[in-house]
Amino acid sequence: MGEPMILKADLYREHGFLKGLYLGLKITMMTMIRNLFKHDRMTLNYPEEKYFYSDRFRGKHVLTVKEDGTLRCTSCMLCATYCPAQCIHIVAADDSDKSVEKAPVSFEIEMLRCIFCGYCEEACPVDAIRLTNEYEMSGHAEQEWVADHYELAFRKSLNNGKGVVSTVDDKDRMKLRL
Amino acid sequence: MTEKVKLTWNGKEIEAPKGSNLLKAALDNGIEVAHYCYHSGLSVAGVCRMCMVEQDGVPRPFPSCNATCGEGMVIRSDTPKIKASVEATLQFHLLNHPLDCPVCDQAGECGLQDYYMKHGQYDSQMIDKKVHKEKVQDIGKNVMLDAERCILCSRCVRFTEEITKTNEMGILNRGDHAEIQCNETLKNDYAQNLVDICPVGALTSKDFRFKQRVWFLEDVHTTCIGCETGCSVKVSENKNGAFRVKPVYDHEVNGHWMCDDGRYIYKHVSSPTRLGGAVENINGLFVPADELNVQAAVKGKKTKYILSTALTIEEYANFFNAVKGKNVEVALYTLPSDGPEFDGILRRGDKNPNLRGAKAAFELAGFDHSQAGLDNLLGSISSSDAVFVVVPEILYNEDHFNTLIKKVEKAGVRIALACGETLGTLRAFNYLLPIPAFLEKNGEILNYQGQARKLRKGMTYGEASKDVSYYGKWVNL
Amino acid sequence: MDYKDVANYKNYALLSYHHIPGVHNIEVFERAGGYETMKKCFEMDPEAIKEEVKQSGLRGRGGAGFATGVKWGFFTKDRNAKKYLLCNADESEPGTFKDRFLVEKNPHILIEGMIISAWALGTQKGYIYIRGEFYHQAMVLERALKEAYAKGYLGKNIMGKGFDFDLYVHRGAGAYICGEETALISSLEGQKGQPKLKPPFPAIKGYRGLPTMVNNVESLAAVPWIMRHGAAAYKQWGTEKSPGTKLFSISGDVNKPGVIEVPLSTTLKEIIEIHCGGMRNGNKLKAVIPGGSSSPVLNADDSYAVKMDYEDVAAKGSMLGSGAIIIIDETRNMGDILKYTLEFYHHESCGQCTPCREGTGWLEAIFKRKETGKSSKSDIVLLDKTAASMRGQTICALADAAAMPTQGMIKVFREELEQYVTAAPKK
Amino acid sequence: MSQTEKFEFTPDRLALYKEYLTRYDDIDSALLPTLHLAQEQNGWLSDSVVAYISELMGLPSIRIKEVISFYDMLYDQPVGRNIVHVCTNITCSMFGGREIYSGLLKHFETGYLTPTRDGRISIQKMECLGACEQAPCMRVNNDYVGNIDLQSAISKLEELP
């Protein structure tokens, strides 16, 4: 936060306000001139037209799956621990597959509490949770705002319900085992 | 009193009994020394090589767990040489460790994690194939073994060899293929201690498995009410409930250990079927009721109380204060003994945690606490009576309790004061009223030695404000 | 194996009976003068025997080279207390086979040495812990013991002195670590052969918690000669600090590998060229491992210059150890030699102390990274660092024994090893 | 010789065991000789052997299992009638010990300690056998065979019963 302020102050000190004014107006004028001759609108006809956010956008969460289609999440609870809004609720249990050992039986995110900070994604050691660029999350009742793991992993918008496959961890593990 | 000697550890003067263990002396004096295999309740193995120290005048570093305190020793564990050796040894510990912290229950209280943050923080150079051993082995008695996570400190082997003398655990093979194995299954009644002494996640509790991460839990230091020993324990709990019981070192009563039965005393406290408020029994169905209805039912009846032995001294005192001077009969129901009187380690057959406190309180108030007193009370029950029975908090012997209930059946109004689940046995009662569980009250109990043991209040999961003395005021309404 | 120039042996101490055919037989042995010293010793004060051994400067031949007389001095002087004498015949150090050679030809010299030592130390029971692989040698010893019992040299009231000494053979079952004295005691106690924490030392608290003296075969076998000829005569050989003669087991690229007895301080050049008949195929010498696999390697120049005694070998940066000399000629790749060494220590680590258990395995893994295509020159640096961090960290010396040759090899043949680890794996 | 087949010392071995006990001052120390004895009789140390010895000597069976797994020459898996130890240590490897070992495994189509299909031979890679002057060497049952090469080793093993 502090850095650009200092830069601005320096600019002001060295060149007076005129240079800043010039720079600002230059951008404005250039945009104006461009818009005079190019006919692209700044607005969209939502919802018919949709804005496509970059992949870095922090929208609705997705739980990734392994190649066999099971959840990648090992329910280590690090996301739940890290979550500043405390909106992630995981119930873990033994997995029948001994190499997996621990898997969630329920994974819920309270969407109304979530602040989309992306900490869960950062905390996850196995690339099991990601924030997508999906931003449409409207609902009618309180119930709809608690996303369970079917919703998070296998909703229609994700590969037609097949989920997002992540293999990052597998490769790492393979490297270790060789 | 043994002779004390003074020694210097990292420039700090400490005092310890002469000839006592050097590492223990440091730990007792609040000096943090990394160690895995040393446990003050077990013999010295000296295999983890983490507690190396240097002494002035001794050419080579040596492990402090195998040294004894002598007058004027100058010990250093913060020299560059020692720091480097601890870091290197830690690296060796972690070499073949699978690093499955995400799925490991020990994470958060794991010796490897703790020491890595304190003494390690190196960049791993291990890019080679790790040695793999068998994971997820259920070795009985609610203990899970993961041989791969094991750092072979041999604490568990020494525990089964020295404490329980049952010799179930052993280290098979040699070199880096050495692995902990259990001979068939665990057979001792102290098996859960293996989980406690394991410094890493090799031995974990099946009961606690994947229930919670330990950093979500808070410990309440209280006393076990499983039997008359009164072991010092801590119960780990959070708002979702209580999750496990672990022993706390107390040299007068339990030392480092506790028995397996005591591990499950938390279960009823946060059980979803726990009694939340007054309920009425309508044709075998428990229906929530208003307390005033119960009071109305008791009104005009002669009240009789049968107390259990799991209440605190304070509760007994308050109760007898409440009923003082009133025409009331009070008797004490004691649980029958279960198993041998004493198994040689900790467990006692007498399952009445505060029998001594109860007897003292009865005597002080002038009531009869004997079996004869109970028989008298039971014999005199008629339909004009209202009988309050305090259900023993840990009901070891339901059949024995059922015989008591049979005798109470003649009473006009039968009321159970319970802090646990609504058991089938309680169908014989007309009303159930809640009382606080041991984890929801402060107080003291007297153990078999006559020593006052403290119960401490943790979180509240049920009705905790109305204890026995509250219902004691309902005498002769 | 036939030992053609056995005639040389009679000049020295330990192998002085080896040229006599059938000396494993007690009759033959006695005719040659065996057991006479023992009889003489029973007339002596035990303390005087101890003193004589101390005067002789005999150093433990198992590897550490600790003076036997001094070690005996630590032993309890209470003759009535229950105590044990153990003979360490678990020679497993790669390259060592001197004890096998000594025992299979002449078991009685060891038995005589043990009886004298037992009388000096006042031990009532003794065991010869022989490695499991030496089945025939164990049988030879058993037979010799029977003969000695029959003669009354063992058992109750030996030589009418009211002194009882029972001696038995105990076979190991294949574990290098059991050559370490506390591991040997653990193994004898019927446990895994894992070394025990020191202190207490075995001389104070050893086998079954009682005072125990553990000596190498060669040390014990040297005792009769010393008692017969006197400490001064023993000191005619060797140097001030390493007196006497020593058995050397020589293997590798020489024409005549085998066991020789020479005075300490004989030059390695003499040993190679005279006693072993020179290098095999006339190849050039590249390196010598002078004291078993755990000693750091010497390069050719040092090898030709070194005198085989405890000090001079140490001055060259290695150690005399058990006297197992492995001669390596120019055709060998030192990387292979180090690989064999590391595999050996990985396999033989007892698994007790972490630095050794994990370290020995990792040393091997680092060194073999080329097999998985992940090697780089810096692996040698890591190898050196890892070996260094294993030293002095464990209960026994096995971690050091794995680290020392690694570091020694890196010091002397660094470039060759760097080439070795980065070379493409053999198909 | 399965895992569960009942095991008992033959009378003469039992007598030998009793004799061993007199050699030692406690029963624990006699464990290693007793295990050697049992292995001589049974070939390998199955669970039932462990159980028998555990009862005979009054030692916890895990202690016996620990000991068996610790030593190279005590086998907790079925082995062939003849045990062949091939030295793969420094000197022997210099003279081709490893090639002989892998050659033998290939020739007899077996693996480390796995008995050949006819149950005749188990080949075990051993650390230094203490016969470096005869490198490369191997140990056939209890006899040392020195200065071998692959051909002579194979022909030696083919002679075995």
Q: Could you tell me if A107 and A128 are in contact, meaning their C-beta atoms sit under 8 angstroms apart?
A: no
Q: Give pLDDT tens digits for D133-154.
A: 888 999 999 999 999 999 999 9
Query: Residue C2: which pLDDT band, with cuts at 50, 70 and 90?
Result: very low
Cα–Cα distance, A165 to A158 (Å, whole number): 10
CB contact set of C132 (below 8 Å; sequence gap of 6+): C171, C172, C173, C174, D36, D71, D73
Which chains are within 8 Å of B by 3+ CB pairs?
A, C, D
Q: Give pLDDT tens digits for C116-163.
A: 999 999 999 999 999 999 999 999 999 999 999 999 999 999 988 899
Looking at residue B260, what is its pLDDT?
Answer: 92
Looking at residue A172, what is its pLDDT?
Answer: 57
Among 3.40.720, 3.30.70, 3.40.50, 3.10.450, name the CATH number for the domain at B279-472.
Answer: 3.40.50
Mean pLDDT, residues B330-351 taken together: 89
Looking at residue C185, what is its pLDDT?
Answer: 95
State pTM to two decimals: 0.91
- Residue A9 has a CB neighbour count (10 Å cut-off) of 10
Distance from CA of B457 to the nearest CA of A (A): 26
Structure-block tokens of residue B195: 């989980």
Mean pLDDT, residues D111-130 taken together: 91
Closest-approach residue (CA) in chain C for B177 = C351
Residue B335 pLDDT > 60, yes or no?
yes
What residue spans define the domains of chain B?
Answer: 4-89, 98-110+127-210, 279-472
Cα–Cα distance, A139 to B448 (Å, whole number): 62
Looking at residue A1, what is its pLDDT?
Answer: 41
Let me know whether A78 and A36 are in one domain. Answer: no
Q: Which domain holds residue A147?
A: 61-177
What DSSP character marks residue B53? E
Q: State how far the alpha carbon of D57 is from the alpha carbons of A70, D27, D40, D42, D52, in Å.
A: 52, 7, 18, 18, 9
For chain B, give the percent of residues with pLDDT over 70. 100
Query: Residue D58: which pLDDT band, with cuts at 50, 70 and 90?
Result: very high
C394 touches chain B (CB under 8 A): yes
Lowest mean pLDDT among A104-113, A154-163, B242-251: A154-163
**Residue of D61, D69, D76, D127 for testing the chain B interface, max B β-carbons within 10 Å:** D69
- Chains B and C form CB pairs within 8 A to the count of 96
Mean pLDDT, residues D4-20 taken together: 91
- Residue C2 has a CB neighbour count (10 Å cut-off) of 5
Contacts of B45 in chain C (CB under 8 A): 197
Looking at residue C16, what is its pLDDT?
Answer: 85
Cα–Cα distance, B357 to B461 (Å, whole number): 26
Residue C288 pLDDT > 90, yes or no?
yes
C349 touches chain B (CB under 8 A): yes
Task: Report which residue type is found at B322.
Answer: A
Looking at residue C6, what is its pLDDT?
Answer: 43
Interface present between A and D (3 or more CB pairs within 8 Å):
no
**What is the CATH number that goes with domain B98-110+127-210?**
3.30.70.20
Say if the Cβ atoms of B176 and C361 lie within 8 Å. yes
Which chains are within 8 Å of D by 3+ CB pairs?
B, C
Structure-block tokens of residue C7: 């005639």
Q: Give pLDDT tens digits for B282-317.
A: 888 889 988 888 888 888 888 899 999 989 999 999
Cα–Cα distance, B48 to C353 (Å, whole number): 6
Q: State how far the alpha carbon of B230 is from the alpha carbons of A99, B184, B453, in Å.
A: 41, 32, 7
CB contact set of C299 (below 8 Å; sequence gap of 6+): C286, C287, C412, C413
Interstrand relation of B218-223 and B232-238 (parallel, antiparallel or unpaired):
antiparallel
Task: Report which residue type is found at B259.
Answer: C
Q: Give pLDDT tens digits for B23-59.
A: 999 999 999 999 999 999 999 999 999 999 999 988 8
Mean pLDDT, residues B208-218 taken together: 93
Cα–Cα distance, D55 to D61 (Å, whole number): 8
Say if the Cβ atoms of B136 and A101 lie within 8 Å. yes
- DSSP string for D7-34: ----HHHHHHHHHHHHHSSSTGGGHHHH
Lowest mean pLDDT among B140-144, C398-402, C420-424, D53-57: C420-424
Residue B6 pLDDT > 90, yes or no?
yes
Q: Could you tell me if C162 and C122 are in contact, meaning their C-beta atoms sit under 8 angstroms apart?
A: no
Say if the Cβ atoms of A101 and B100 lie within 8 Å. yes
Say if the Cβ atoms of C192 and D90 lie within 8 Å. no
ipTM of predicted assembly, 2 dp? 0.89
Which chains are within 8 Å of C by 3+ CB pairs?
B, D
Across the interface, of D33, D59, D130, the residue whose CB is closest to C100 is D130
Query: Residue B318: which pLDDT band, with cuts at 50, 70 and 90?
Result: very high
- Domains of chain C (ranges; CATH) run 11-234 (3.40.50.11540), 247-329 (3.10.20.600), 334-422 (1.20.1440.230)
Say if the Cβ atoms of B131 and C361 lie within 8 Å. yes
Looking at residue C7, what is its pLDDT?
Answer: 43
What rounded mean pLDDT belongs to chain C? 91
Closest-approach residue (CA) in chain D for B169 = D62
- The answer to whether position A45 is within a domain reads no
Domain B4-89 has CATH 3.10.20.740: yes
Looking at residue D51, what is its pLDDT?
Answer: 94
- The answer to whether position A155 is within a domain reads yes
Looking at residue C4, what is its pLDDT?
Answer: 43
Let me know whether A96 and A171 are in one domain. Answer: yes
Residue A177 pLDDT > 70, yes or no?
no
Contacts of B215 in chain A (CB under 8 A): 81
Q: Give pLDDT tens digits for B161-188.
A: 999 999 999 999 998 999 999 988 999 9
Q: State the helix-helix crossing angle for D31-42 and D61-70, rounded to 10 degrees.
A: 80
Query: Residue C3: which pLDDT band, with cuts at 50, 70 and 90?
Result: very low
For chain D, give the percent of residues with pLDDT over 70. 98
Query: Residue D123: which pLDDT band, with cuts at 50, 70 and 90?
Result: very high
Contacts of B172 in chain D (CB under 8 A): 65-66, 69-70
Query: Residue B123: which pLDDT band, with cuts at 50, 70 and 90?
Result: confident
CB contact set of D105 (below 8 Å; sequence gap of 6+): D111, D112, D123
Mean pLDDT, residues C83-97 taken together: 92
Query: Residue D2: which pLDDT band, with cuts at 50, 70 and 90?
Result: low
What rounded mean pLDDT belongs to chain B? 91
Query: Residue B476: which pLDDT band, with cuts at 50, 70 and 90?
Result: confident
Let me know whether A91 and A137 are in one domain. Answer: yes
Residue D93 pLDDT > 50, yes or no?
yes
Task: Report which residue type is found at D21.
Answer: L
Residue A169 pLDDT > 80, yes or no?
no
Cα–Cα distance, B328 to B375 (Å, whole number): 15
Distance from CA of B173 to the nearest CA of D (A): 5
Distance from CA of C253 to the nearest CA of D (A): 9
Looking at residue C201, what is its pLDDT?
Answer: 92
Contacts of B127 in chain A (CB under 8 A): 175
Query: Residue A140: which pLDDT band, with cuts at 50, 70 and 90?
Result: confident
Contacts of C386 in chain B (CB under 8 A): 88
What rounded mean pLDDT belongs to chain D? 92
Structure-block tokens of residue C86: 């153990």
What letters, b where the CB count within 10 A reaches 16 and e where it falls short, cover B121-142? Answer: eeeeebebebbebebbbebbbb
For chain C, give the percent of residues with pLDDT over 90. 78
Say if the Cβ atoms of B127 and C374 lie within 8 Å. yes
Contacts of C62 in chain D (CB under 8 A): none
Looking at residue A176, what is its pLDDT?
Answer: 46
What residue spans define the domains of chain D?
Answer: 11-70, 82-158
SS3 D50: helix
Q: Could you tell me if C365 and B129 are in contact, meaning their C-beta atoms sit under 8 angstroms apart?
A: yes
pLDDT, greater one: B389 or C425? B389
Among 3.30.70.100, 1.10.357.10, 3.40.30.10, 3.40.50.1370, name the CATH number for the domain at D82-158.
Answer: 3.40.30.10
Q: Give pLDDT tens digits for C182-236.
A: 999 999 999 999 999 988 999 999 999 999 999 999 999 999 999 999 999 999 8
Contacts of D63 in chain B (CB under 8 A): 167, 170
Q: Give pLDDT tens digits for A90-128.
A: 999 998 888 888 999 999 999 999 999 999 999 998 889
Q: Give pLDDT tens digits for B376-413.
A: 999 888 888 889 999 998 888 888 998 988 888 888 89
Q: Give pLDDT tens digits for B129-159.
A: 889 999 899 999 999 999 999 999 999 999 9
Looking at residue B427, what is its pLDDT?
Answer: 86
- The answer to whether position A116 is within a domain reads yes
